Amino acid sequence: MRHFLFLFLGFFAGLYLSWPGFLILENWKCFNEIIAKSADNKISFKAAFEISPSYLLKPKNRTMASKIRIVADACFR
């Protein structure tokens, strides 16, 4: 049980240090809005400015984790 507690606290602390706005509801609305617009092939300027040039130049790096990281960086930082 103690190991799960440390695992959970470490995971939560890592998320909070990476994305401090993770706990704010307004940021989650931004996250959901970008996801909804991306389904319609529209992207917000906020998310577009978060994309690094290396991501655009190397199309092989486009995994689901990298897409989530870009959207989370746009809303939670």
Task: Please state the domain extents for the chain.
Answer: 2-76
Query: For residue 75, what pLDDT band results from cuts at 50, 70 and 90?
Result: confident
Global pTM reads 0.59
Tell me the mean pLDDT in the region 57-68: 69
pLDDT higher than threshold 70 for residue 48 = no
Q: Tell me what pLDDT residue 4 has.
A: 92
Q: What is the mean pLDDT of the chain?
A: 78
- What mean pLDDT comes out for the span 66-77? 77
Q: How far apart are CA 12 and CA 18, in angstroms?
A: 10
43-68 burial, b at 16+ Cβ within 10 Å, e below that, comes to: ebeebeebeeeeeeeeeeeeeeeeee
CA–CA separation, 41 and 77 (whole Å): 23
